[in-house]
Amino acid sequence: MKNEYIPQLSEIKEVIRHTDLEYTFRMVYEGPVKPGQFFEVSLPKYGEAPISVSGIGHGTIDFTIRRVGKVTNEIFENYAGDSLFIRGPYGNGFDLENYKGKEIVVVAGGTGLSPVKGIVDYFARHMEECVSFTLIAGFKTPKDVLFKEDFAFWKQQFPVTLTVDSAPEDYDGPVGMVTKYIPDLKFQNSENAVFICVGPPVMIRFSTLEMLKLGIKEEQIWISHERKMCCGLGKCGHCKIGSTYICLDGPVFNYTEGKNLID
């Protein structure tokens, strides 16, 4: 029987720097994985941290990591050719079958783009599998924007709104919260539309309210609850909300369930 507590050693194939605090680590991995799932990434003596999968390749997976604490500080000292320990994947992830043949809208805030990036990547290369795809992504400032090269490719495939909360006067891109741009969305058939939203809880709340105003039903909305996850196995209870363990029952929830998870 597999011991879920024992990680495997994974080589870092590439490190992509986005900002001073956020890098993507491309790791060796063979096995099934879905967008929205997460792994425990660890280093002996320093501990482990739950990190969402931000990219799925052939024999690799990406982790986009923000340098914010003891474990992630140490991970940032490891670069291409070095290795990290990983265990997973955990959680339910986003099931692509729920979105094929639909009018898809993805709204993401900051590092919340990481868990849904696999969905964006997939449909950017398989536009024939959906009716339409729209991405609205928000960051604090232009310096905080992640995946700039990916954005350049995505903009060639479908409508993309890349907005920032604040910017210098000479900035010529969209400025404002992501919710500013949701009322402008148009659908061929709102009953065939699906909405995916990941980011800070307050952003998810007001973004989903705007989508409901457009006639999108609760069962057509998916969100991801990622705060407070810890062990990944439902043993520590750190992510428990009511009777729900986010790491086991989520982190991806249909809005009909997710709206009741108040932490």
| Binding site as annotated, residues for [2Fe-2S] cluster | 231, 236, 239, 247
DSSP 99-141: TTTSEEEEEEEGGGHHHHHHHHHHHHH-GGGSSEEEEEEEESS
Rounded distance, CA 24 to CA 152, Å? Answer: 17
Q: Output the six-digit token pair for 131.
A: 């009716």
Asked whether the beta carbons of 216 and 190 are under 8 A apart, the reply is yes
Pair 35, 116: CB distance under 8 Å: yes
In which residue are the tokens 């009741």 written? 260
Whether the Cβ atoms of residue 250 and residue 259 lie closer than 8 Å to each other = no
By the 10 Å C-beta count (0-12 exposed, 13-18 middle, 19+ buried), 2 is classed as: exposed
Give the tokens for residue 149: 């090269």
Edge-to-edge strands, sheet with 252-254: 160-164, 132-139, 103-109, 193-198, 221-224, 252-254
User: Please, what is the end-to-end C-alpha distance for the chain in angstroms?
Assistant: 34
Asked if 39 and 65 touch (Cβ cutoff 8 Å), the reply is no
Binding residues: 231, 236, 239, 247
